[in-house]
Amino acid sequence: MSLRAAVVGAGPSGFYATDQLLQAGFAVDLYDALPTPYGLVRAGVAPDHQSTKRVTRLFDRIARSPGFSFYLNCEVGSDLTHDELLEHHHAVLYAVGAPNDRRLDVDGIGLPGTSTATEVVAWINGHPEFADLPVDLSGRRVVIVGNGNVALDVARILTTDPDALARTDIADHALAALRDSQVQEVVIAARRGPAASAFTLPELIGLTSTRDVVLDTADHDLVIRDLANETDPLTRNKLDILAKLGEASAPSSRPRIRLAYGLTPKRILGESKTTGIEFVLTGGDESREMSAGLVLTSIGYRGKPIRGLPFDDAAAVVPNDGGRVIDPGGSQPVRGSYVAGWIKRGPTGFIGTNKSCAAQTVHNLVADYNDGLLADPLHKAAALHRFVRGRRPGVIDAAGWKAIDDAEVARGGGLRPRDKFTSVADMLDVAATAPAPPVRNVVVRLLRRDRQRTTSPPEPRPSSVRPGAAEAARAEAARREALR
């Protein structure tokens, strides 16, 4: 019986976990609800950060490994259940991220002209669920509430020359809207002071070296005040950069970004459509109104519950111990169930942070296998393919994804990395043109997977499966049970 793991979510943490599972000797089936892989690298990383998106080359290499299979356009939780996946795999590892936005609870949120920065990023990146998001850029000012890296990403894109963006993989609809944009100022409003800015130093450097970024005189004073008291070197570096920013009162010939501090959002202004936002000066009761045609909240992400697994609603993560899902009452591990990435630790860190996060989870998963704690699948590997196709006839495999990928790159015409499809229907049409592998090849591949463990067991490594360890552990457990 080959070792089999299901990984749910084809973003960075899903791919890092897949890589580590493959190295440990598992065959891996990688599931994603979308017809396209890469998660936030495709739909969240801003299009002007193409060098960050190049991590997909690593993911492509992982996807070409022996023992790997894609099950794209297949949603675990609706097309397939957690228990069904466990019947076909030794373990199921969820790397589904934190797909929801934290919502700001003030009057007027939801009015036309309000949205979240992450929705706008998804719209910019051509995510099919956000292709029709109404993004009104007809006003002169956009206000973004919250000053994390997502806010900086959106502000940067809204103030970038569209001709430069035209050489990226930005969605066509977003590029067209940006060409018509009337936006002259994007205000990034934080409720706390400059020293508490949530953006990171590299992102601030990237922003201020390529855009006009300014401060009001009052905010300059706050920066100087914070510099006088701050001892943390990293924060001081950020404050040093802020202290050198230009004055907001100076005239500007191109769209600019203003960083504003000490503003707690109170309500969205406007009757049938957003006309601005009212803040309270943090720590007091004085109000400040700011006109804006678009108000975006950018106050972090939230994980959402996974059907069939426990959920910690306060932290918005699946309760876990080093990636082992635990039942919240008794702290007992939920057999065969694991998490990695933002659904495990919350929405923090960079893409690379997910590598060590996934490594910890896979290390524990392999240890559980070696300790005989994972049940063998009830069905042979060959049965999974038939089962998933029965449930989800439109499931997309590696050949289908390659057809979509090739078509997007071809649409880019050599001038752009790719021109993305933004509708699932278009993606499915293209995937359907992929040559189907001869049935014989599929059967041979799956039979090989079934034999893989008995014919060529992997070399034991610190975090890899020890041949026979699970059987020995189970036999020992049965012996102890018999002696009781």
156: phi then psi, degrees, rounded to nearest 5? -65, -45
Q: CB-based contacts of 399: which residues, under 8 Å, 6+ apart?
A: 434, 435, 436, 437
Q: Does position 95 bind ligand NAP by CB under 6 A? A: no
Stretch that binds ligand NAP, among 66-74, 141-149, 242-250, 421-429 (CB under 6 A): 141-149
Least distance in Å: CB of 282 to ligand NAP?
9
Least distance in Å: CB of 155 to ligand NAP?
11
Which residue shows structure tokens 């570096």?
Answer: 237
Q: How many CB atoms lie within 10 A of CB 72?
A: 24
What whole-number distance in Å separates Cα of residue 24 and Cα of residue 424? 34
Among 108, 128, 148, 377, binds ligand NAP (CB under 6 A): 148
Pattern 282-311, ligand NAP, x by CB under 6 A: ----------------xxxx----------
Least distance in Å: CB of 149 to ligand NAP?
4
Stretch that binds ligand NAP, among 76-84, 132-140, 195-203, 375-383 (CB under 6 A): 195-203
Least distance in Å: CB of 160 to ligand NAP?
15
Stretch that binds ligand NAP, among 11-19, 30-38, 323-331, 346-354 (CB under 6 A): 346-354
Least distance in Å: CB of 49 to ligand NAP?
7
Nearer to ligand NAP, 99 or 148 (CB): 148
Q: Does position 192 bind ligand NAP by CB under 6 A? A: yes
Q: Does position 265 bind ligand NAP by CB under 6 A? A: yes
361-400: contacts with ligand NAP (CB under 6 A): none
Tally the residues of the chain: 484
Nearer to ligand NAP, 203 or 230 (CB): 203
* 3-state SS, one letter per residue, for the chain: CCCEEEEECCCHHHHHHHHHHHHCCCEEEEEECCCCCCHHHHHCCCCCCHHHHCCHHHHHHHHCCCCEEEEECCCECCCECHHHHHHHCCEEEECCCCCEECCCCCECCCCCCEEEHHHHHHHHCCCHHHCCCCCCCCCCEEEEECCCHHHHHHHHHHCCCHHHHCCCCCCHHHHHHHHCCCCCEEEEECCCCHHHCCCCHHHHHHHHHHCCEEECHHHHHHHHHHHHHCCCHHHHHHHHHHHCCEECCCCCCCCEEEEECCEEEEEEECCCCCCEEEEEECCCCCEEEEECCEEEECCCEECCCCCCCCCECCCCECCEECCEEECCCCCCEEEEEEECCHHHHCCCCCCCHHHHHHHHHHHHHHHHHHCCCCCCCCCCHHHHHHHHHHHCCCCECHHHHHHHHHHHHHHCCCCCCCCCCCCHHHHHHHHCCCCCCCHHHHHHHHHHHHHHHHHCCCCCCCCCCCCCHHHHHHHHHHHHHHHC
Nearer to ligand NAP, 45 or 93 (CB): 45
What whole-number distance in Å separates Cα of residue 35 and Cα of residue 43? 13
Among 7, 91, 131, 150, binds ligand NAP (CB under 6 A): 150
Among 115, 147, 181, 463, binds ligand NAP (CB under 6 A): 147
Pattern 397-426, ligand NAP, x by CB under 6 A: ------------------------------
Bridge partners, 289 (sequence order)? 278
Nearer to ligand NAP, 105 or 481 (CB): 105
Least distance in Å: CB of 144 to ligand NAP?
10
Q: CA angle, 141 as apex, 137 and 142 as ends, to 5°?
A: 70
Among 348, 356, 433, 454, binds ligand NAP (CB under 6 A): 348
Among 191, 258, 302, 385, binds ligand NAP (CB under 6 A): 191
Stretch that binds ligand NAP, among 139-147, 284-292, 380-388, 391-399 (CB under 6 A): 139-147
Nearer to ligand NAP, 171 or 195 (CB): 195
Nearer to ligand NAP, 25 or 262 (CB): 262
Nearer to ligand NAP, 211 or 385 (CB): 211
Among 349, 352, 437, 468, binds ligand NAP (CB under 6 A): 349
Q: Which residue is nearest to ligand NAP (CB)?
A: 148
Stretch that binds ligand NAP, among 169-177, 192-200, 425-433, 464-472 (CB under 6 A): 192-200
Nearer to ligand NAP, 65 or 350 (CB): 350
Q: Does position 27 bind ligand NAP by CB under 6 A? A: no
Q: CB of 31 within 8 A of CB of 71?
A: yes
Q: Give the type of residue at 13.
A: S
Least distance in Å: CB of 235 to ligand NAP?
13
Q: Does position 160 bind ligand NAP by CB under 6 A? A: no
The binding site for ligand NAP (CB under 6 A) comprises 104, 145-151, 153, 190-192, 196, 198, 200, 203, 265, 298-301, 347-350
